[in-house]
Chains A and B, each alone.
Chain A
């Protein structure tokens, strides 16, 4: 059981694209070299912005809704788990349906695996591996009540995906609009600083 006190916060503005999270995720004893985190360059020509994606742990997980084999379970602590191996048929419905692009059906395994909030660690009071190693703390795992005073960015847990409202356990930190964004050295030189 993972304590309800702690929350997982993704703060993309802090991400430096170092992929320590990806590398550390793969080291988990149950992942056996396979990372469950995605880390994307947005558009390297226009920005050095990178964005990490871990599971948002939806309150009503779409991956579970679309699973024809009822293989994806959400425990009472709000954590959505990898598919149960005996049930998973590797159909990739979850992979296609997840609005955040989290689940991965590994070829050769015929099973969907996903970020499970490092259940083995978090259920014992440790931080998830990615949030432990993240050098810039773009991946943050702290008591929920602390985060508002800690960061200038603000947590959001509700998302509109088309007409669908998705509520999640994991929060995304929305940047403080007063923090500038510098993307083009040419414009800085020409006075647009």
Chain B
């Protein structure tokens, strides 16, 4: 039912991706702005401050916001060119409904009426939970909160989850287990004063570019930098120690380091005895994790492991940063706990220049994981199965316990249930699972089975192409609200322009659907983002993520407020755990033993090469936004296979050759890029593209048992050189688009590859 109408090529002609190359009216237009609007970048979790230039209700450019303390005007190329999403030829400005002939533009009333009828039909026929919702953490706090309430009370379904499930959820689970709270432990300023910085599974320069300067400022003051990654990333190029470990062996490394910290007496017993529990079991677990054992599992030299442990052990201050590299694994939570054990063992947390954080990936990766649009969560980072937590939220929401659903399925499990025919209807926003979930063909099969699918988006994403109804949503700069940055700083997103045509903010759309479903009493008062935020403040009160003392005015006066902020006179909390006070009932942090186990898939004779996937600095996540911006496509138009010259030579592969990469899920053909910066037993593909170019055609639906994060970072493949005429047609099209961006000419003079 929900197969795509028309061919993919026809859809691309109509809805893109096309490129926007220039501001409204072109470069020769008068671009002198009417006003500058202070807001933040719409992309990653750094949430850089930026001023948007606005003229005649169009964003026409940007001006650095040098007073905003986190980035002081700095921006990555995505931030510089973000404004080109506005005034874009692909922009959805009216509702679309599927017909026999493709999508037809329809009036708002028709789209809404059909949507509400289908929701009611599916829920009447198959039960409330047969209609699911998928959401995303590029949404503001207000929309995240609303999504949680909308699914539970508007739709009455337990099956709501979010794409944070593909992001930092392993870190969230690990942090809650160890600290009793899920937030970066420090503001980034503590990075600068650290003696040693340990960066693991985080391509900081490309995925969190602004953090690079914090780390290099520390190094200029003499800090040592240790980078753990199967690839020598731009940050690692000049690190004091680089540990290019085998994909999936992170927990072995942290166990090996803890073993040496104990053996060499680098343990801070005074801190541990006063402020932690469980050290004995953690030490017992690593008793046999000798450097030789660690070396065998990680593929690193013994001396490098010993040097790392010594550098970490000898420091008096330190900061440990990790990201998706360790989290996107079937033991993502244990990898995170392994890092936390290293931090707790040395007692270096909760004081100046001593810190620990996951670097959140998505724009509101922090705030979006606090307000209840996870399947097991209620606002304030409360637990949906905790009777006291339910009771409090029932009071705030004015509903009964029976009206509040219990825990539902996680994102991948929702897709699995759709595939199995258990879930029949779907509403999604801010999520492009056809690019971002593992095992692409499985996801496509699942979407094709839906009886009804309504998608809210501003561009027709690859997933939206499968929808029955597409409701045009507002861009980041067309709405207001708050987000919470990777530091835990709650900041203001300001509206710069009005949405075009029938497009409207997601919160307005959800509120309208809820009202049409007869749930006026729970949603009718949401007349502005601030009205939603004020309910969020109350709903979060007393939870670990307490926003009660934060107001829009207070955020603007202080350039952001760090939660927890429990009262209006509270200044906020840039550094957690000061004085060794953690968030568990006993006030202590927990060491949790991390036993070694291999990834779900291990190289063998049939699939002898490790595959890992990730991002490039020029593209953002599933690329719905960045694959439409000329400058960014010009820099990185399509995926490629990063391969060490030694592995390439063994297969007769040269630069630019076509390589067929095959896993147990599928295969794709990509051009080879020979680089010495990757382990010779590992290849890398960036994942931002759809269809025949999707890296996730190769990845598996293996999940971490606790966080339910897919194991994007560890798969096994075989590679073979093939003929260049087997490159997908999409590759040539993307090369043509990049050439267009570079020259403003539409036709290639000659074949590029």
Enumerate chain A residues within 8 angstroms of B303, measured Cβ to Cβ.
Answer: 191, 193
A162 within 8 A of B: no
Q: Is A97 an interface residue (CB 8 A)?
A: no
Tell me whether A135 and B234 are in contact (CB under 8 A): no
- In the complex, the answer to whether B237 meets A193 with C-beta atoms within 8 Å is no
User: In the complex the two chains form, is B232's CB within 8 Å of A137's CB?
Assistant: no
Q: Judge whether A18 is part of the interface by a CB distance below 8 angstroms.
A: yes
The CA-CA distance from A150 to B80 in the complex, in Å, is: 27
A158 in contact (CB, < 8 A): no
Known: A16-B209, A20-B80, A135-B210. A181 touches B301 (CB 8 A): no
- Min CB gap A51→B, angstroms: 12
Contact (Cβ within 8 A) A180 B238? yes
Residues of the B chain whose Cβ atoms lie less than 8 Å from the Cβ of A86 = none
Given the contacts A179-B238, A185-B231, A186-B676, A16 and B220 also touching, CB distance less than 8 Å: no
Chain B 27-40, CB-CB to A under 8 Å as 1, else 0, gives 11001000000000
Q: Is B212 an interface residue (CB 8 A)?
A: yes
- A134 surroundings in chain B (CB, below 8 A): 74
The answer to whether A26 and B232 touch across the interface, beta carbons within 8 angstroms, is no
- Please, how many angstroms separate the alpha-carbon atoms of A150 and B678 in the complex? 32
Bound form: Cα–Cα A180–B237 in Å:
8
Interface-located stretch among A2-10, A41-49, A54-62, A75-83:
A41-49
- Report A5-47 residues with CB < 8 Å from chain B CB: 13-20, 22-24, 26-27, 29, 32-33, 44-47
B213 contacts across to A, CB distance below 8 A: 135-137
Q: Is the CB of A45 within 8 A of B645?
A: yes
Chain A contributes a number of interface residues (CB within 8 A of B) equal to 48
Indicate whether B300 reaches chain A with its CB closer than 8 angstroms. Answer: yes
A99-139 interface with B by 8 A CB criterion? 127, 129, 132-137
- Contact of A151 with B by CB under 8 A: yes
Are A188 and B242 in contact, with the CB atoms below 8 A? yes
Q: Is the CB of A20 within 8 A of B28?
A: no
**Bound CA–CA A22/B618 (angstroms):** 12
Once the chains are docked, how many angstroms separate the CA of A189 from the CA of B303? 11
Give Cα distance in the complex from A163 to B32, angstroms: 47
State the CA gap A136–B206 with chains docked (Å): 11
User: B66 on the interface (CB 8 Å rule)?
Assistant: yes
Query: Is A16 touching B206 in the complex (CB atoms < 8 A)?
Result: yes
Q: Which residues of A contact B79 (CB under 8 A)?
A: 20, 133
Cα of A193 to Cα of B226 in the assembled complex, Å: 12
Given contacts A20-B79, A186-B676, whether A13 and B238 have CB atoms under 8 Å apart is yes
**Does B244 belong to the interface (CB within 8 Å)?**
yes
Q: Does B388 contact A (CB under 8 A)?
A: no
In the complex, the answer to whether A23 meets B77 with C-beta atoms within 8 Å is yes
* B75, A185: Cβ atoms closer than 8 Å: no
What 1/0 flags go to B230-265 for Cβ under 8 Å of A? 111111111111111000000000000000000000
Smallest distance from the beta carbon of A16 to chain B beta carbons, Å?
A: 4
Complex Cα distance, B240 from A30, in Å, reads 42
- Whether B533 sits at the interface, judged by CB under 8 Å, is no
Taking CB atoms, residues of chain B closer than 8 Å to A179 are 219, 238
Q: How far is A89 from B79 in the complex, measured between Cα atoms in Å?
A: 37
The answer on a CB contact under 8 Å between A133 and B64 is: yes
A190 to B79, CA, bound (A): 39
Bin the interface of chain B by size.
35 or more
| Proximity bits, B15-37, A CB within 8 Å = 1, else 0 | 00000011000011001000000
Interface mask (A174-190 → B, CB under 8 Å = 1, otherwise 0): 01000111111110111
Contact, CB under 8 Å: A136 / B73: no
B230 → chain A, closest Cβ, in Å? 8
Q: Which residue of the partner chain, among B73, B300, B307, B617, contacts A132 with CB atoms under 8 Å?
A: B73
Distance between A60 CB and nearest chain B CB, rounded to angstroms? 33
Instruction: Identify which of A19, A23, A137, A179 gathers the most chain B CB atoms within 10 Å of its CB.
Output: A23
Residue of B nearest to A136 (CB): B212
Q: A16-B206, A48-B234, A181-B237 are in contact. Are A133 and B75 (CB under 8 A)?
A: yes
| Inter-subunit contact B209/A135 (CB<8 Å) | yes
Q: Bound complex: CA of A44 vs CA of B672, how far in Å?
A: 12
Contact with A along B63-89 (1 / 0, CB 8 A): 010100000011111011100000000
- Closest Cβ–Cβ distance, residue B674 to chain A (whole Å): 5
A20 CB to nearest chain B CB (Å):
5
Chain B residues lying within 8 Å of A188, measured Cβ to Cβ, are: 232, 242-244, 304
CB distance from A138 to the nearest CB of B (A): 9
Name which of A18, A33, A135, A180 has the most chain B CB atoms within 10 A of its CB: A135
> Would you call A87 an interface residue if the criterion is a C-beta within 8 Å of the partner chain's C-beta atoms?
no
Alpha-carbon distance between A20 and B205 when the two chains are bound, in angstroms: 12
Determine whether A157 belongs to the interface, using a CB cutoff of 8 Å to chain B: no
- Given A46-B676, A193-B307: A132 touches B212 (CB 8 Å cut-off): no
Question: Provided the pairs A14-B216, A33-B27, A193-B242 are in contact, do residues A186 and B644 lie with their beta carbons within 8 angstroms?
Answer: yes
Measured between beta carbons, the chain A residues less than 8 angstroms from B635 are: 19
A20 in complex: contacting residue of B21, B76, B307, B675, CB < 8 Å: B76
Instruction: Determine whether the beta carbon of B235 is less than 8 Å from that of A186.
Output: no
* Contact A185–B74 (Cβ < 8 Å): no
Nearest chain B CB to A17 CB, angstrom units: 6
Instruction: Give the distance in Å from the alpha carbon of A193 to the alpha carbon of B228 in the complex.
Output: 13
- Does B677 lie at the interface of the complex (its beta carbon under 8 Å from any beta carbon of A)? yes
- Cα-based distance from A19 to B646 in the complex (angstroms): 29
| One of A13, A15, A183, A190 near B232 (C-beta < 8 A) | A183
User: For the complex, what is the distance from the CA of A185 to the CA of B678, rounded to whole Å?
Assistant: 5
Given A18-B209, A32-B28, A150-B220: A185 touches B679 (CB 8 Å cut-off): yes
Known A137-B74, A186-B646; further 20 A-B contacts with Cβ < 8 A: A16-B212, A18-B617, A23-B80, A45-B655, A45-B674, A45-B675, A47-B676, A129-B64, A133-B75, A137-B216, A180-B238, A184-B676, A185-B679, A186-B644, A186-B676, A186-B679, A188-B304, A189-B300, A189-B679, A189-B680
**Chain B contacts to A: CB under 8 angstroms:** 21-22, 27-28, 31, 61-62, 64, 66, 73-77, 79-81, 205-206, 209-210, 212-213, 216, 219-220, 230-244, 299-301, 303-304, 307, 617-618, 631, 635, 644-646, 655, 673-680
* CB pairs A–B below 8 angstroms (28 shown): A14-B216, A16-B209, A16-B234, A16-B617, A22-B77, A23-B77, A23-B81, A27-B62, A32-B27, A45-B645, A45-B674, A48-B232, A48-B237, A48-B675, A133-B73, A135-B76, A135-B205, A135-B210, A135-B213, A150-B220, A182-B237, A182-B242, A183-B676, A188-B232, A188-B304, A193-B241, A193-B301, A193-B303
Of all A-B residue pairs in the complex, the 3 with the closest CB atoms, nearest first, are A135-B209, A16-B205, A32-B27
